[in-house]
Amino acid sequence: MQIIADNLQITNPRIQTAVERNDPEPIQQIVQACITAGAQAIDINSGPLNKNGPEKMEFLVETVQAVTSLPLLLDTVNPQALEAGLRVSHNPAVINGFSLEPAKLKSILPLAVKYDVDIVGYLLYENGLVPADEAERFNLAIELFTQAHLAGLAPERLIIDPIVAPLIWENGLEQNRAMLNIIRNLPDLLDFPVRTIAGLSNLATGRGDRYKKRLLESAFLPMLAASGLSMALLNILHSRPVQIAQACHLLNHSTVFAYDELAEFKQ
């Protein structure tokens, strides 16, 4: 299970100010902290970038790749900004992402084919809403795969995000239990070793005790790993979930167990 840092978000005032001033230092400090904490990829969540989007995305990508060769997930709904980032990226790039919304099928999905990169596909209705049940998620997965195929995307380039539901939703628990079945059964449904990604931070969205939120994230991670999740998108500076993700990867993928392969656990 690959660990992806979601710490680089334009909603962070520090990052927002750095982008506005074209100041790379605060951004690079956060990236370096993410690398130290064990990040295996960096999500650049730049938001919609309504003003000077291409220039800002170019700045973000060039700033990040100046201090790391890790894969970069380019996370914006602005197709012009997205293409600008893909154009300047020397690191492996992933588009994060598209759904069955017509505008995204038309303007974002084709960029994955044009630049021959991986792309995340969200299991969402055309109106952007989360499906109500497990059967609908499977139907959306089939349609998402079909649209990607029609666009000329190689199957191995598709990464499916079944959408982690916030627990504060009335049916949040039910949604997340169904999500585990989705991850487990997608390879059989689509008849190829489909990769999956989950945004762990969505689980504890909203107000609540920080300790309890971390506890819930830490409990859900092994469940995701056991279901076969390929990538976990999380706050890499929350040490306990990261250590658990590393331990899950070791238990699932190592052929010989060794304690020294684990990062030091902090109590």
Q: What is the pLDDT of residues 29-40, one digit of tens each?
A: 999 999 999 999
- Specify the higher pLDDT residue, 162 or 48: 162
**Element spanning 96, H or E:** strand 93-98
Contact residues for 211 (Cβ-Cβ < 8 A; gap 6+) = none
Residue 80 lies in a domain: no
pLDDT reading at 188 higher than 90: yes
User: What CATH number has the domain bearing residue 213?
Assistant: 3.20.20.20
Residue 120 lies in a domain: no
Q: Supply the pLDDT for residue 18.
A: 95
pLDDT reading at 264 higher than 80: no
Q: Supply the pLDDT for residue 211.
A: 84
Residue 265 lies in a domain: yes
Q: Supply the pLDDT for residue 132.
A: 80
Could you give the CA distance from residue 186 to residue 196 in angstroms, rounded to a whole number?
9
Return the axis-axis angle of helices 239-253 and 210-227, rounded to nearest 10°.
20
Residue 66 lies in a domain: no
Q: Supply the pLDDT for residue 215.
A: 86
Could you give the CA distance from residue 141 to residue 137 in angstroms, rounded to a whole number?
6
Q: Supply the pLDDT for residue 262.
A: 57
Q: Supply the pLDDT for residue 170.
A: 87
pLDDT reading at 265 higher than 50: no
DSSP states along 154-197? -GGGEEEE--PPPTTSTTHHHHHHHHHHHHHHHHHHHTS--EEE
CB 45 within 8 A of CB 68: no
Q: How many domains, in total, are found in the chain? A: 1
pLDDT reading at 230 higher than 60: yes
pLDDT category at 245 given cuts 50, 70, 90 is confident
CA-based torsion, 183, 120, 3, 13: positive or negative: negative
Residue 166 lies in a domain: yes
Which residue from 61, 93, 100, 95 is spatially nearest to 78, judged by alpha carbons?
95
Could you give the CA distance from residue 10 to residue 31 in angstroms, rounded to a whole number?
13
Average pLDDT over residues 35-55: 91
| 3-state class (DSSP) for residue 149 | helix
For 93-125, the pLDDT digits (tens) are: 999 999 999 999 999 999 999 999 999 999 999
pLDDT category at 266 given cuts 50, 70, 90 is very low
CB 211 within 8 A of CB 235: no
pLDDT category at 252 given cuts 50, 70, 90 is low
Which residue from 70, 79, 29, 71 is spatially nearest to 50, judged by alpha carbons?
79
CB 57 within 8 A of CB 85: yes
CB 176 within 8 A of CB 193: no
Residue 223 lies in a domain: yes
For 67-89, the pLDDT digits (tens) are: 999 999 999 999 999 999 999 99
Residue 172 lies in a domain: yes
Q: Which residue segment(s) compose the domain that 180 sits in?
A: 162-267
User: Which is it for strands 72-75 and 41-45: parallel, antiparallel or unpaired?
Assistant: parallel
Q: Supply the pLDDT for residue 207.
A: 79
Residue 56 lies in a domain: no
Average pLDDT over residues 182-211: 91
